[in-house]
Amino acid sequence: MGLLEGKKALIFGVANDKSIAWAIAEAFRREGASLAFAYNGDTLAKRVIPLAESIGAEMVLQCDVRSDEEIASVFRDVKERWGGLDILVHSIAFANKDELKGSFLNTTREGFALAMDVSAYSLIALAKEATPLMEGREGVILTLSYYGGQKVFPNYNVMGVAKAALEMSVRYLAESLGGTGVRVNAISAGPLKTLAAAGVGGFNQIAGVVAEKAPLRRNITQEEVADSALYLCSNLARGVTGEVHFVDSGYNIIGL
């Protein structure tokens, strides 16, 4: 029997087949979960809908996480179709490209608010809607972070501040929701070539340093993140909440 047999998982953040969320979806499906996807915008529809169909997704819903109405509509559809929810994956981030290069001092008020809204606050907004659907089901919420939320990396700038807020939100949500049996965790992934990573200046340089300095002397893969996501979202991790779990070839333990 698969680790997620009978579980219903709603996944936000598939843009294409390189997305971390897509690797997570494939791992969840392999282990028996039923899947629903939420994607943002018409331009992504032509990529995400065929991918979702290829994996037997039961729902493919449009949602810009900046909109409370669109979020509410997704969870209404999920409630109607499934009656409840076991797993929520939040694999979403956005900041203006101009603010992901150069000096952090160039962060604008609008850019700061946008990065925080999409990349951090949205986890709280989704958790608010998901929790009532998880009642009595030992639900799990998982988000994706990066080490740039704990230490300074060139060009990561405002996204680092948003990831710091996201990681702290994981802890506060874990405390808020623990009484209902819902667990909330994050994976802090090493650099991976995706659409989002392409927006960060000097990405290749960062990946090169990881390959040279990380204990495993290599970069990680989307599939390695997905397998850790499987653990965190399955009964194997039933005692784990409020955790930021590194999947980064061990890079974060290195001092110099």
Ligand X SMILES: NC(=O)c1ccc[n+]([C@@H]2O[C@H](COP(=O)([O-])OP(=O)(O)OC[C@H]3O[C@@H](n4cnc5c(N)ncnc54)[C@H](O)[C@@H]3O)[C@@H](O)[C@H]2O)c1
| Residue 87 binds to ligand X (criterion: CB under 6 A) | no
From the list 174, 197, 210, 226, which residue makes contact with ligand X (rule: CB under 6 A)? 197
From the list 9, 27, 57, 65, which residue makes contact with ligand X (rule: CB under 6 A)? 65
Binding residues for ligand X, rule CB under 6 A, total 27
**Among the listed residues 12, 15, 20, the one whose alpha carbon sits nearest the alpha carbon of residue 192:** 20
Residue type, 121: Y
Is 231 annotated in the active site?
no
A 10 A CB-CB count for 114 gives 18
DSSP letters for the chain: --TTTT-EEEEE---STTSHHHHHHHHHHHTT-EEEEEE-SHHHHHHHHHHHHHTT-SEEEE--TT-HHHHHHHHHHHHHHHSS-SEEEE------GGGGSS-GGG--HHHHHHHHIIIIIHHHHHHHHHHHHTTTTT-EEEEEE-GGGTS--TTTHHHHHHHHHHHHHHHHHHHHHHTTT-EEEEEEEPP--SHHHHTSTTHHHHHHHHHHHSTTSS---HHHHHHHHHHHHSGGGTT--S-EEEESTTGGG---
Q: How far apart are the first and last CA of the chain?
A: 44
- Least distance CB 97 / ligand X (angstroms): 13
| Residue 146 binds to ligand X (criterion: CB under 6 A) | yes
| Residue 189 binds to ligand X (criterion: CB under 6 A) | yes
| Residue 94 binds to ligand X (criterion: CB under 6 A) | yes
Q: Which of 121, 147, 156, 251 is catalytic?
A: 156
| Residue 191 binds to ligand X (criterion: CB under 6 A) | yes
| Residue 196 binds to ligand X (criterion: CB under 6 A) | yes
Q: Tell me the window of 59-67, 105-113, 226-234, 235-243 that interacts with ligand X (CB under 6 A).
A: 59-67
Q: Which of 39, 146, 147, 251 is catalytic?
A: 146
- Least distance CB 254 / ligand X (angstroms): 17
d(CA 182, CA 49): 29
From the list 118, 161, 186, 237, which residue makes contact with ligand X (rule: CB under 6 A)? 118
From the list 29, 47, 66, 101, which residue makes contact with ligand X (rule: CB under 6 A)? 66
| Residue 194 binds to ligand X (criterion: CB under 6 A) | yes
| Residue 13 binds to ligand X (criterion: CB under 6 A) | yes
| Residue 195 binds to ligand X (criterion: CB under 6 A) | yes
User: Which of 20, 60 has the CB closer to ligand X?
Assistant: 20
Is 146 annotated in the active site?
yes
Which residues make up the interface to ligand X (CB under 6 A)?
13-15, 19-21, 40, 44, 63-66, 91-94, 118, 144-146, 189, 191-192, 194-197
The residues assigned a catalytic role are: 146, 156
